[in-house]
Amino acid sequence: MANNHWLMNSEVLTLLRKLRKRLKAEFGITLQFADYGFEAQLARARDKTIDSETRQMISALEARRGAPFTTGEEAPPRLYRGHPILQEEPRKRDIYELIYGETLAEHCAAGQMGTTKKIYRGQRLGNH
């Protein structure tokens, strides 16, 4: 625990004491506040517990901390110059959608597919 200033609050300590009893009863784990894996234990308990009140307590602790608890197995967020990169779901996009947007691309692409005219020196080419 490199940064544990969020623990120095009486409300947080009260929540942690209640949570310690609940986790001991449900999983049989002893929660040690000075332990290095303390936050990882809370993250694993949040994912495994079936008790809604335990989840609420852990989410209240995460809100007090300012960041969610991690187990250390999660992939770190991708950053570019210190800022997180937005993740978009991959999907097929055509050139009209990239330029004009989604709704206009549907109208342009559907309406212009077979209606192009080729003109050479003032005369129509192809089918008249």
pLDDT score, position 1: 46
- pLDDT band of 79, cuts 50, 70, 90: confident
φ/ψ (deg, to 5) at 80: -130, 115
- Please state whether the predicted TM-score (pTM) of the whole model is above 0.85: no
Angle, CA of 25, 14 and 22, to the nearest 5°: 10
Q: Is the pLDDT of residue 87 over 90?
A: no
Mean pLDDT of the chain: 80
pLDDT tens figures, 15-31: 999 999 999 999 888 88
**51-73 mean pLDDT:** 88
> Do the Cβ atoms of 49 and 55 come closer than 8 Å?
yes
Q: Give the residue carrying structure tokens 């559907």.
A: 110
pLDDT score, position 78: 83
- pLDDT band of 109, cuts 50, 70, 90: low
Give the tokens for residue 76.
Answer: 């770190």
Pick the more confident residue, 84 or 96: 84
